[in-house]
A and B are shown apart, each in its own frame.
Chain A
Amino acid sequence: MSNQNSPILCFSTDVPSQAGLLQVVHPFAEMMQSPLALLSLPGVETDELAQLGGYGADVVYRLEASQLEQGSCASYIGALVLAVKKLEPKLVLVAGNLQGLEIAAQAAQRLNAACINDVMAVEFAGDDLQLTGMIFSGRAQAKFDITRFPVFGTVLPTSELSEAVSADLAEVEDLPIELDPPQVRVVDVRPKEVLDRGIERAEKIVDFGQGVASREDISLIEQLAEKLGAQVVCSRPISSELGWMPDFIGLSGKRISPKLSICVGVSGAIQHMIGLRDSKIIVAINSDPEAGIFQQSDYGLVGDLYEIIPALIEVLE
Chain B
Amino acid sequence: MRIAVCLKFGLDVDEIKVDADTGEVRLANVPRKFGEYDYNALTEAACIAEMGEHEVVILVFGPSSAGAGLREAMAMGADRAVVIEDPTGGFSPTATSVEIISRAITKLGGFDLILCGEASIDGASYQFVPRLAERLQIPHIAYACKLSIENDKVSVERNLSDRTETLETILPVVVSVTDEINQPAKPTLMQVLKAKEKPVDVWTLDEDLGVTLDDLSQGAPSEQLKMRGIQVQRKGVMFKELSAQDAAKELFNILQEEGF
A contact set with B: CB distance below 8 Å: 14, 71, 73-74, 77, 97-99, 101-103, 105-106, 108-110, 112-117, 130-131, 134-148, 151, 183-192, 194, 204, 228, 236-237, 240-241, 247, 251-252, 259-260, 268-271, 277-278, 281-283, 285, 289, 292, 294-304, 307-308, 310-312, 314-316
15 contacts between A and B (CB under 8 A): A73-B142, A77-B130, A112-B221, A115-B127, A137-B13, A139-B13, A140-B228, A147-B222, A148-B222, A183-B169, A189-B163, A240-B159, A240-B178, A282-B234, A296-B232
CA distance A38 to B71 in the complex (A): 49
CB-nearest residue of chain B to A254: B161
CB-CB under 8 A from A106, the residues of chain B are: 130-131, 133-134, 140
A228 CB to closest chain B CB, in angstroms? 7
CA distance A251 to B95 in the complex (A): 21
CB-CB under 8 A from A285, the residues of chain B are: 247
- B1-9, B207-215, B248-256 - the one binding chain A: B248-256
B41 CB to closest chain A CB, in angstroms? 15
CA distance A36 to B226 in the complex (A): 28
- A101 and B127 contacting across the interface, CB-CB below 8 Å: yes
Most A-side CB within 10 Å, residue of B18, B179, B222: B222
B139 CB to closest chain A CB, in angstroms? 4
- B162 and A192 contacting across the interface, CB-CB below 8 Å: yes
Is B203 engaged at the interface, CB distance under 8 Å to the other chain? Answer: no
* Contact residues on B (Cβ < 8 Å of other chain), bracket: 35 or more
CB-CB under 8 A from B244, the residues of chain A are: 303-304, 307-308, 310-311
With beta carbons under 8 angstroms apart, the residue of B141, B179, B222 that contacts A144 is: B222
A214 CB to closest chain B CB, in angstroms? 17
- A143 and B13 contacting across the interface, CB-CB below 8 Å: no
- A185 and B168 contacting across the interface, CB-CB below 8 Å: yes
- B251 and A138 contacting across the interface, CB-CB below 8 Å: no
CB-CB under 8 A from A311, the residues of chain B are: 244-245, 247-248
A79 CB to closest chain B CB, in angstroms? 15
Contacts A74-B139, A145-B222, A188-B165 known; A270 to B232 CB distance under 8 Å? no
| 5 closest cross-chain pairs (CB), A and B | A114-B222, A307-B244, A311-B248, A106-B130, A148-B221
- B47-55, B82-90, B106-114, B117-125 - the one binding chain A: B117-125
- B162 and A102 contacting across the interface, CB-CB below 8 Å: no
CB-CB under 8 A from A146, the residues of chain B are: 221-222
With beta carbons under 8 angstroms apart, the residue of B131, B161, B258 that contacts A105 is: B131
B125 CB to closest chain A CB, in angstroms? 5
CB-CB under 8 A from A237, the residues of chain B are: 179
Q: Which residues of B116-170 are within 8 A (CB) of A?
A: 118-119, 121-127, 129-131, 133-135, 139-143, 155, 159-169
B93 CB to closest chain A CB, in angstroms? 9
CB-CB under 8 A from B228, the residues of chain A are: 140-142
- B164 and A190 contacting across the interface, CB-CB below 8 Å: yes
A98 CB to closest chain B CB, in angstroms? 6
- B62-70, B73-81, B235-243 - the one binding chain A: B235-243
CB-CB under 8 A from A77, the residues of chain B are: 130
Please count the residue pairs between chain A and chain B whose beta carbons lie under 8 angstroms apart in the complex: 249
If A190-B164, A311-B245, A312-B247 are given as contacts, then 7 extra A-B residue pairs at C-beta distance below 8 Å, sorted by A number, are A105-B127, A137-B123, A148-B221, A185-B169, A295-B234, A302-B241, A308-B251
- B222 and A140 contacting across the interface, CB-CB below 8 Å: no
CB-nearest residue of chain B to A111: B221
- A109 and B221 contacting across the interface, CB-CB below 8 Å: no
Contacts A134-B230, A185-B169 known; A315 to B248 CB distance under 8 Å? yes
CB-nearest residue of chain B to A251: B124
Contacts A105-B131, A114-B221, A140-B228 known; A135 to B123 CB distance under 8 Å? yes
With beta carbons under 8 angstroms apart, the residue of A140, A307, A310 that contacts B18 is: A140
- A105 and B125 contacting across the interface, CB-CB below 8 Å: yes
Is B98 engaged at the interface, CB distance under 8 Å to the other chain? Answer: yes
- A184 and B139 contacting across the interface, CB-CB below 8 Å: yes
With beta carbons under 8 angstroms apart, the residue of A151, A188, A289, A302 that contacts B166 is: A188
CB-CB under 8 A from A131, the residues of chain B are: 222
Contacts A136-B13, A187-B167, A296-B232 known; A109 to B134 CB distance under 8 Å? yes
Is B14 engaged at the interface, CB distance under 8 Å to the other chain? Answer: yes
Is B199 engaged at the interface, CB distance under 8 Å to the other chain? Answer: no
- B16 and A139 contacting across the interface, CB-CB below 8 Å: yes
Contacts A112-B221, A147-B223 known; A139 to B250 CB distance under 8 Å? no
- B252 and A315 contacting across the interface, CB-CB below 8 Å: yes
CB-CB under 8 A from B161, the residues of chain A are: 97-98, 192, 194, 247
- A189 and B223 contacting across the interface, CB-CB below 8 Å: no
- B142 and A98 contacting across the interface, CB-CB below 8 Å: yes
